[in-house]
Structure 1
Amino acid sequence: MAQQKRKRGPLQFLQFGVIGFANAGIDIGTLNLLLLLFHTDNRMLLLLYNSIAYTLAVVNSYFWNANITFKRSAKGSNRQRFLFIAQGLISLGVSNLVFLGVNDLLELTAFPNWLRYNTAKGLAMLLSFLASFFMVKYFVFRDFGKKHIKNND
């Protein structure tokens, strides 16, 4: 069982990464679409656009990770939903802080707006992805009762 658990960790990270790559497309695609349709440099609107984009990606993430990456421990319980929402809000906070912070730093350079926004978004996605993976793996879809049950898999 210990060997199976060790193998599952890297596989889970790979699966989470593939799903995360799709989520990144949703996230950055939504942000760019909003900026294309409603261009702004207003921090509050940028925060709103980033939050909308991130939320769409998180909803997609929950569906696929619950059904693929963490299907063995995903029960669809109210507890797991609550913890997923909580980790999503924490990861959204990470995403927004990094997005706005990096954007502010890059604003001091001669970067074009589209490059500045996308660079900031890329770093925000990377850091929120890492935070999200560890929170989802160790808190949301963790099977707390598994230690006490003999597994014959």
Structure 2
Amino acid sequence: MENSEKRRTPVQTLQFTVIGISNAAVDIGTLNLLLLLHPTDYSVTLTLFNTIAYCLAVANSYIWNSMITFRHTARGTSKQRFGFFLQGLFSLFINNGVFLGFNLLFQIFGMPAWIRHNLAKGLAMFASFSASFLMIKYLVFKDDQRRKQRK
């Protein structure tokens, strides 16, 4: 790993985290709004609401991360957009699985719906955030130019 890339990684992690906080606001805000408008414990509806919230957060993430965090390697190519879409889809499966799984677990313990939904959403966001960062950094916006220069 080159020195400039080593120095950039902590900065990228911080930038990704700050943008992640805005993504979390979009994600959890949308989910809570949808649940406020249509309260439910039906897993298909919860999956739909979670998917809508997650997709809005991913769109927010792509815009900000491509302009700030990964601006040195984000080229806006079809390959990168497709890679971002695939990692988003994979992270969506992680997010929905963790959200529904913990929501069910917390329901078994008799936790109130609002607390249960938000706690499960928080855990889902952390799991998908972690997977997303690794996939974006090492697969989607990887620095192909530096890799070619090292060869």
- Bucket of the pairwise TM-score, normalised by the shorter protein: over 0.9
2:143 alignment partner in structure 1? 143
How far off is 1:147 after superposition? 2.1
Q: In the TM superposition, what are the counterparts of 1:1-153 in structure 2 within 5 Å?
A: 2-149=2-149
Greater shift, 41-50 or 4-13, is seen at: 4-13
- Cα deviation 1:67-110 (Å, max 9, x = unaligned): 00000000000000000000000000000000000001001112
Matched residues, percent identical?
54
Whole-angstrom CA distance in 1 between matches of 2:110 and 2:127: 24
Whole-angstrom CA distance in 2 between matches of 1:61 and 1:18: 10
Greater shift, 103-112 or 126-135, is seen at: 103-112
Whole-angstrom CA distance in 2 between matches of 1:145 and 1:82: 19
Whole-angstrom CA distance in 1 between matches of 2:83 and 2:145: 16
Whole-angstrom CA distance in 2 between matches of 1:90 and 1:116: 24
Three-state SS of the structure 1 residue aligned to 2:72 is: coil
Normalised TM-score (structure 2): 0.96
Whole-angstrom CA distance in 1 between matches of 2:54 and 2:148: 37
How far off is 1:24 after superposition? 0.1
Whole-angstrom CA distance in 1 between matches of 2:110 and 2:93: 27
Three-state SS of the structure 2 residue aligned to 1:73 is: coil
Gaps of 5+ in 1: none
Give the aligned CA root-mean-square deviation in angstroms: 1.1
Whole-angstrom CA distance in 1 between matches of 2:144 and 2:6: 17
Whole-angstrom CA distance in 2 between matches of 1:117 and 1:33: 12
The number of equivalent residue pairs is 150
Normalised TM-score (structure 1): 0.95
Which runs of structure 1 show a deviation greater than 4 angstroms over 4 or more consecutive aligned residues? none
Gaps of 5+ in 2: none
Residue 141 of structure 1 aligns to which amino acid in structure 2? F
How far off is 1:120 after superposition? 0.3
